Structure 1
């Protein structure tokens, strides 16, 4: 009997031990399964997160490109899509922009010409930027300034910003242009800048305008104010009352110098895409402005200017010592300047 009880007690113990062992193993398996489940879930979440981030990155990096403009293959280097740092072009981001520079000399009608261009809704010509010496002190500052202009980050009263189709500036030949012509030509060619040469045929008329403008800087004939350009016939008449006396001793050499400078400029920049415009042609025939718009590939518009011509009419009435000037130029290559005239 005692043996039976002892045997029964052993069996009970063994059963309990087995049950405990089974529970322990089940707990081990359950814990292991939970650990595996958590691990698998964490991997899945990481993959989902990575895929999501990748998807967002793809959206940010891959942007819909601007459609190719309907242009000739040779025009492609001259078409740009600026991304200004100072503003967004918004809905005009895919509007192509063409870069240009007006190369001229003082008192050649460049200010008048530029007002015509700026009357176009899609053209921004930002004026005589390099009249400020620090901007033309070296080629680095010149390039830095040009980059701002052609990236639409240069602000002036002429800026059209978002929907500009042609952007440029007015650059006088004596404002660092000739000294750094090699680097500037290279810049124009690599950046697709088109050049508009604007000169006067009659250099004698230009000289009269230069001398009269220099005189008014000190005299300030318009109520104590100096104006290089005017917007009323009355102001023009006041400025035209001054008749300069021309130094005939230096007259031919001065005309040679100006003529030589323009010839050099045409030679230096002949490898750029360019057009030559003469002030006299624009005065006589406003269809020349249509040629310029075609050159810039902008929609044709009827361009206007508020500026009024100061010196007009026959040359003998504009020079104090006309007889001396006439005698000096007769028989020289510049004799035609004495007779060339235009109505307006």
Structure 2
């Protein structure tokens, strides 16, 4: 006979259930607990796996930071580790790169100077990148062009396969530099661009070189080819045969204007990290090139150039109306230009 036990009542209805033995009840409870435990564990495992997968999917690969312990802390703002989009730097990724710009005027020796820099195995100087007007139409186009150069995405004949230690270009003062000098100075200071000023002390020789070069653009004295720079004494002699006639009416004004332009440039860019060079000093003093390499923190090398100077010797041999020019400048602040060798 199975005993019954009253579980609960509802109104007049009495609901009864069979009375089980204590052992059976304990067994049922134990099985229930085990099932619940297995279910809960399975839920926890699923959540753990899902969380692990989520964490792994959100992890980004962080590149190894480049440490250069032997460099002065003051140089840190001038060290860069570019990530070009057009090629992978591979083993050069931790090689610090310094950014520079050569600010100069036409016929001041900047072409010759740049060939000297590019003879260094770790330097890439990319020429007059702002020669084309579309690159200097406004501050935005200038910034975009600068970014391409300094991110190592600008390829010219100066680009090196070796790890670059210094990357830059030359920028003539009449190529948007003065018009947008505020934005350019801000960019240079933000990115730690070092400025190399290169000017010519003898402005009369610069004038002769400019007029002669302008003439050759149309005359093309070298077998119908115009060359701003030459690599042989024969070519230099051919070009030097042309003797320009100096405009005496505007001579003093032109020389003064050149001086003013140089002074304004130095004033505009005085807040940048810079070095001031003169063509004459580079020619006469070999230690000046060592100073440039130290300024850019380059491994010291002997720098060479294939370019040959065109207008050698005294100016009296290269100016058609020399006597008149000599008379005009005598007794003025520019008399010193008459007899300087360079």
- Calculate the TM-score normalised by the size of structure 1: 0.86
1:279 aligns with 2:297: no
Aligned to 2:225: 225
Aligned to 2:17: none
Q: Which has the higher helix share?
A: 1
Aligned to 1:201: 201
TM-superposition CA deviations, 1:192-250 (whole Å, max 9, x none): 01110000000000000000000000000111111101111111111111110111111
Q: Equivalent residue of 2:168, what SS?
A: strand
TM-superposition CA deviations, 1:36-79 (whole Å, max 9, x none): 75774464255246436635754x43432111342222211111
TM-superposition CA deviations, 1:127-167 (whole Å, max 9, x none): 10011001000000001111111111111111126611111
Aligned length: 323
Cα distance in 2, alignment partners of residues 43 and 101 from structure 1 = 62
Q: Equivalent residue of 2:198, what SS?
A: strand
- How well do the aligned residues superpose, as a CA RMSD in angstroms? 2.6
Q: Equivalent residue of 1:124, what SS?
A: strand
What are the equivalent positions in structure 2 for 1:132-281 lying under 5 Å apart? 132-160=132-160, 163-281=163-281
The Cα shift of 1:190 comes to 1.0
Aligned to 2:312: 312
Whether contact under 8 Å (2:121, 2:162) holds in the other structure is no
Cα distance in 1, alignment partners of residues 327 and 116 from structure 2 = 38
Q: Equivalent residue of 1:61, what SS?
A: coil
Aligned to 2:327: 327
Aligned to 1:54: 55
Whether contact under 8 Å (2:122, 2:162) holds in the other structure is no
Task: Identify if the C-alpha distance between structure 1 residues 318 and 89 changes in structure 2 by more than 3 Å, giving closer, same or farther.
Answer: same
1:129 aligns with 2:132: no
Whether contact under 8 Å (1:89, 1:162) holds in the other structure is no
1:89 aligns with 2:85: no
Aligned to 2:45: 44
Aligned to 1:339: 339
Aligned to 1:13: none
Aligned to 2:13: none
Q: Equivalent residue of 2:101, what SS?
A: strand
Task: Identify if the C-alpha distance between structure 1 residues 69 and 233 changes in structure 2 by more than 3 Å, giving closer, same or farther.
Answer: farther
Cα distance in 1, alignment partners of residues 131 and 154 from structure 2 = 15
Cα distance in 2, alignment partners of residues 313 and 38 from structure 1 = 100
Deviation larger for 149-158 or 137-146: 149-158
Cα distance in 2, alignment partners of residues 183 and 161 from structure 1 = 32
Cα distance in 2, alignment partners of residues 304 and 38 from structure 1 = 80
Aligned to 1:117: 117
Whether contact under 8 Å (1:93, 1:162) holds in the other structure is no
Deviation larger for 60-69 or 301-310: 60-69
Aligned to 2:66: 66
Aligned to 1:12: none
Structure 1: gaps spanning 5 or more residues: 1-6, 8-17
